[in-house]
């Protein structure tokens, strides 16, 4: 292989150095100064346009900024509406779930309470009738509590109260 021939190393290094030197001189003397002038001119014109606000792109940029701002405001309004809808749906769901749980638990408690009240009323009625027949009349008269002035209103109230309790059973 000729690349690995030790006698050809000197010529290969020489031509490599000549090629790189030529390339370096061409870049530094011709190409880079032209690019530097172009960049400097562009920067100078942009600075002048920015200072005088007469840039042809200024109106377009301003229009794009306003358009972007409108899109951001619209997106914020949509986000606010979505959040409000989510909150109202969440509140509705919580209210419905709470109502369902309360209805189930309270109806069970109401049924239990009604059964206990029926049992207590029956027990009280049986106890009163048993005491009426087993106690002597003098003891019954001594144990009686004073009756209310309007017995009819009391009975109507008791019937209404007991009927509302026993409707659930």
Domain spans in the chain, listed from the N-terminal domain onward: 7-50
* pLDDT score of 134 more than 90: no
pTM (predicted TM-score)? 0.34
- Mean per-residue pLDDT, 60-86: 89
Distances in Å between the Cα of 115 and the Cα atoms of 103, 157, 162 are 18, 20, 12
- Tell me the pLDDT band of 169, cut-offs 50, 70 and 90: very low
- The pLDDT assigned to 37 comes to 95
CA dist 147 and 90 (Å) reads 56
């Amino acid at each position: 292989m000729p690349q690995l021939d030790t006698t050809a190393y000197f010529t290969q290094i020489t031509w490599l150095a000549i090629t790189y030197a030529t390339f370096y001189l061409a870049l530094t003397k011709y190409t880079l100064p032209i690019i530097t002038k172009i960049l400097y001119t562009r920067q100078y014109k942009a600075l002048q346009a920015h200072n005088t606000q007469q840039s042809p792109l200024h109106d377009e940029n301003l229009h794009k900024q306003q358009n972007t701002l409108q899109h951001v405001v619209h997106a914020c309004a949509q986000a606010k509406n979505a959040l409000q809808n989510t909150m109202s749906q969440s509140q509705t769901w919580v209210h419905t779930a709470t109502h369902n749980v309360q209805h189930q638990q309270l109806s069970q408690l109401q049924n239990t309470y009604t059964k206990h009240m029926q049992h207590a009323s029956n027990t009280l009625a049986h106890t009163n009738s048993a005491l009426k027949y087993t106690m002597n009349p003098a003891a019954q008269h001594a144990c009686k509590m004073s009756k209310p002035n309007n017995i009819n209103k009391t009975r109507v109230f008791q019937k209404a109260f007991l009927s509302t309790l026993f409707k659930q059973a």
